[in-house]
Each structure stands twice: as C-alpha cells, then as structure tokens.
Amino acid sequence: QVQLVESGGGLVQAGDSLRLSCATSGGTFSTYHMAWFRQAPGKERVFVAGSSWGGRSINYADSVKGRFTISRDNAKNSVYLQMNSLKPEDTAVYYCAAAKIRLTTTPGQYDYWGQGTQVTVSS
C-alpha cells in the first residue's frame, strides 16, 4: 500500500516562504511522477507543480512560476515544494500525488494521494 504524507503547511503572511514535504512509503518512489496540487474552499483541485520520475521534466502552473520550486530526493522517497513570495491567493489545502504512467496536470490520472496540508497566507 502506497502512502503519501504531507507536512510543512501553516499560517504565514504575504511575502513569506514555506517548504512543503511529502514522504512516501510502500512503493517504488523513484518510478513515480510526482506532483503538488491545491484546492481552495469551494474550488476544484488544481495542478501546482510536477516532476517526472527522474526529475528531467518539471512543470509549473503559470500562477506559481518563478515563486515555487518542486524538487525530489529519490534516496529519501520524498518530494518538496519550496514556496516563496506567498500571496493570499495561494491559500489552499496542498496535496501531494503520485502517478505511475505519466506526468500530467489532471488530478484523475494520479494513482496515490496524500491527506493534504493547509497553507494559509494572510494579507
């Protein structure tokens, strides 16, 4: 059973930084494409950033380009999201997800999900 556990969320002020972590277990992490999604209240879950299994392909949502950085450590079975220059509109529950087939922006194509971590950015 593959498990993903996010951590690192919290309440910060606009302009601050946060680093989210996602630790995985129970699977072959190095073969998974990994991504971060977020879901704000009353809105759909949307893609934020993703990394192919080897890290050679990295994608970002336009709204976070230049501010967020995704990275992965296959030796630690973990993926990270460094978030800088946070804005109130970044407030959401952030989810880590793993895909076996391809790196995609579509939530339905991910096989495993974490429980989410809340990020709240005050103005």
Over residues 22-73, the pLDDT tens digits come to 999 998 998 999 999 999 999 999 999 999 998 899 999 999 999 999 999 9
| Per-residue model confidence (pLDDT) at position 1 | 85
| Among 76, 119, 75, CA closest to 94 | 119
Would you give the DSSP letter of residue 42?
T
What are the start-end ranges of the H helices in the chain?
A: none
Give the mean pLDDT of the chain: 96
| Per-residue model confidence (pLDDT) at position 106 | 97
| Per-residue model confidence (pLDDT) at position 21 | 98
